[in-house]
Every structure is written in C-alpha cells, then in structure tokens.
Structure 1
Amino acid sequence: MPSQLEGAMGALITVFYNYSGNDGDKHKLNKGELKELLHSELSDFLTSQKDPMLVEKIMNDLDTNKDNEVDFNEFVVLVAALTVACNDFFQEQNKNAK
C-alpha cells in the first residue's frame, strides 16, 4: 500500500496524463488541455480569482521554453507554487486564530 506522499505523487502523474495528449503530444498540455485541467481540477481556486486572463497568464508563466505547451516538469512547478501559497495562507490563519 503506498504512503500518503506516494499516493499524492501518483495522483499528480495521473491527473497530468488524463488531460495531456488529447490534441497532440501525450507528454505535454496545450493551452486548451491546461485550461480544461485547471477548470476541472482547480475550480474552487479559479472561481475565487477575478482575472479573466488568469489561465493565459499561468500558461505564459509555466511555459518556460516558450513552445506553447506545458510539460510535466512545468506542471509540477505550478502545483508546488500553489501548495506553498496554500501553506502560507493556512499558517497565517493559524497565527491569527491564536
């Protein structure tokens, strides 16, 4: 039975490949695939944002090699950054609750 961390790693891989390759390279997300992934998997995050260009900005920030696609490494950077932001938020909430 996998540990929690191993399960989380497996989930990241599974989510990425569930959305990648529908319109091309199976190892990359194009803009449409990234948008679908974000809207399906991070809908609460996206609905709380006010910027209608957010997905476009995320794509531009993640696409470090500027090929208009996001590979798995670039995707993991997004997940890590969001996880850090969530951790910072909850740490601040805990400080304020004391």
Structure 2
Amino acid sequence: MTQLQVSMCLMLDTFEKYARTDGDPNSLSKSEVKTLLEKEMPEMISGAKDKKAVDDLVKALDFDGDGVVDFEEFMAVVAALTCCFRGVATKSKK
C-alpha cells in the first residue's frame, strides 16, 4: 500500500474505533467525540473540560445538526485541521 492509502485506512480505522463504542458504527456520539479528541487530539480538547464546552464543540463538528458526527463531518474537520497545521508548519520553516 502507498503512504496515502495507509493514511486513508488509518482515518477509517480511527473513526470506527471510537464510533462503535456506543453501538452505531456510522456516527460518533457526544461522548465518543470527547473520547476521540482526548485520545487522538489532546491539545484540541484541553480547553474543553466542562460539559458545556464539549457540547459546543460537538455542535460545531455536527454540520447537519442531527446530534452526532458522521464520517464525512469527521473528515471535514480532520482536513481543515490538517490545512491549518500545514499553514503553521510552512510559516515556521520561513
């Protein structure tokens, strides 16, 4: 497999690892999003320790307002964060 294919598989595996804990493997509940962020992106959740902050974060990730984060929403956020990281990394190299 190419590096890109491995990366894609890792995204799928990561989403499914956390999505299946509450029973629905196709979406992340509020608690699953919180756990995923705590484990996989701890610096993103560091400022969201209270329940309201986590609720607000899940709402921001839930683009269609159905109360859960599906794979497409998850990937949109990962892609946006990756673009932001690239911008920061590119600026720090100058």
TM-score by shorter chain over 0.5: yes
Which amino acid in 2 is paired with 1:90?
Answer: A
Gaps of 5+ in 1: none
Q: Give how far 1:82 is off.
A: 0.7
Q: What is residue 26 of structure 2 aligned with on the other side?
A: 27
TM-score normalized by structure 2? Answer: 0.86
Deviations 1:60-93 (A, max 9, x none): 1221111110000000011001101100001111
1:13 corresponds to 2:12: yes
1:82 counterpart letter in structure 2: L
What is the match of residue 40 of structure 2?
Answer: 41
Q: TM-score, normalised by structure 1?
A: 0.83
Count of residues in Structure 1 that have an aligned counterpart in Structure 2: 91
The offset of 1:45, in angstroms, is 3.9
Matching residue of 2:75: 76
Distance 1:70 1:51 in 2: 17
Segments of 4+ moved more than 2 angstroms: 44-47, 55-58
Aligned amino acid, residue 9 of structure 1: M
Which residues of structure 2 form unaligned runs of 5+?
none
Q: SS in structure 2 opposite 1:35?
A: helix
- State the superposition RMSD in angstroms: 1.5
Cα pair distance change 1:66/1:41, threshold 3 Å = same
Amino acid at match of 2:17: N
